[in-house]
A = this chain, B = another copy of it.
Amino acid sequence: MGIHTYFRSLNELERIIRCPGKFKFEEHSVAAHSWKVVQYAKTLADIEEKNGATIDWKKLYEITSSHDYGEIFIGDIKTPVKHASPELRSLIQQVEEGMVYNFIEEHIPGDFKEIFHRQLREGKDDSTEGLILEAADKMDQVYEAFAELQRGNTEKEFVKMYRDALIKIKNIDLYCVAYFLNHILPDMVNDEITSSVDIRRITEEALAHPVTV
């Protein structure tokens, strides 16, 4: 009971793995993903702010850190399911919001209910903060998928994830998004693309290396 139950529930997001069912070289929990989104969003907001925008940092803090909290109740529902029909997508969202609402009503002390209701709301709206959250969320999808593809994962799902995330990001009209696409993404594609490691060459060079260590 109480805020304790809320604190204890955070643990669950450490156990829910993203993208269930598909083969992956590295698993990512929803908790770790949430932390990375908090980090990306912070940097994106800094870039946006430097460009003259006003950031509501409290709002950004709230919506980024809790953006997947509802998965405690509904799990990581596969994307194709969420979008199988607008009706189902809408109903699942209603259910998620309802379960979050009930959780707060049941466990959070009266004087903090309002704060929790506000904080655990769906954060992706058209505000700058909401758009930054959407961009940060999709950026992690790009990074996750890219790493898998780079290591040789042949699941078509990751090509789809990578592509869909880039398209979504591209459509967000913010300076920081353009900055990401023009300055950050190219570094990823250039530096990280697998230049196959020539083990033979590295071996020979190392063994020819002058004696001084």
Contacts and interface: CB of A to CB of B under 8 A. Distances in A.
A127 interface: no
Nearest to A206: B166
Given A16-B20, A29-B32, 10 more contacts: A15-B21, A20-B75, A31-B36, A35-B38, A47-B112, A50-B111, A81-B92, A84-B98, A85-B91, A146-B199
Contacts of A98: 84
5 contacts: A32-B35, A39-B65, A151-B152, A151-B153, A162-B203
A88 B95 contact: yes
A174 interface: no
Number of copies: 6
Contacts of A74: 77-78, 81
Interface residues of A, number: 108
B11 A23 contact: yes
A150 to B, nearest CB: 6
A88 B12 CA distance: 23
Interface string A51-73: 00001011011100110000011
Nearest to A96: B81
Given A31-B36, A78-B75, A205 B163 contact: yes
Nearest to A165: B206
A54 to B, nearest CB: 12
Interface in A18-53: 20-23, 25-26, 28-29, 31-32, 34-36, 38-40, 42-43, 46-47, 50
